[in-house]
Amino acid sequence: CPVPQVVDELEERMREGGVIVDYHGCDFFPERWFHIVFVLRTDNSCLYDRLQSRGYTGKKLQDNIQCEIFQTLYEEAMLSYKKEIVHQLPSNTPEDLERNLDQIVQWVEQWMKDNN
């Protein structure tokens, strides 16, 4: 199983801090690694078009849409980490991307002020 290998590989880097992890799941990452978790959410009509334009079809397309409908990744994050560190961000448009980036940068800057 590659999951323990991923955790083992990242352990030292995570201990050093200052790491952003971008992954499509989270239930196997230790809670101690994270100060905040952002779950990007996409409206299903946007998601369908986005995935279809990337060549997703059939079961892969259906599985990704169902995952978003059932809030699978958000629920996984809520069960894996303290609820107060889990935040949903909309990810439908390029403007959302910019706002999310600004929000994350502001959070990092504030965290640095508060913890250094």
Q: Summarize pLDDT for 15-68 with one digit per residue, the tens.
A: 988 889 998 888 889 999 999 999 999 999 999 999 999 999 999 999 999 999
Q: Is residue 9 in a domain?
A: no
Centroid of chain to Cα 76: 10
Question: Structural domain tally of the chain?
Answer: 1
Q: Is residue 54 in a domain?
A: yes
Q: Is residue 4 in a domain?
A: no
Beta carbons of 31 and 82 less than 8 angstroms apart:
yes
Confidence class for position 114, pLDDT limits 50, 70, 90: very high
Report the mean per-residue pLDDT for the chain: 93
CA distance 43 to 58: 19
Parallel, antiparallel, or unpaired for β 37-41 and 86-90?
parallel
CA distance 35 to 53: 34
Residue 1 has pLDDT above 70, yes or no: no
Domain that holds residue 26: 21-115
Beta carbons of 71 and 44 less than 8 angstroms apart:
no
Note the pTM of the prediction, 2 decimals.
0.88
CA distance 51 to 47: 6
Q: Is residue 1 in a domain?
A: no
Q: What is the CATH number of the domain that holds 90?
A: 3.40.50.300
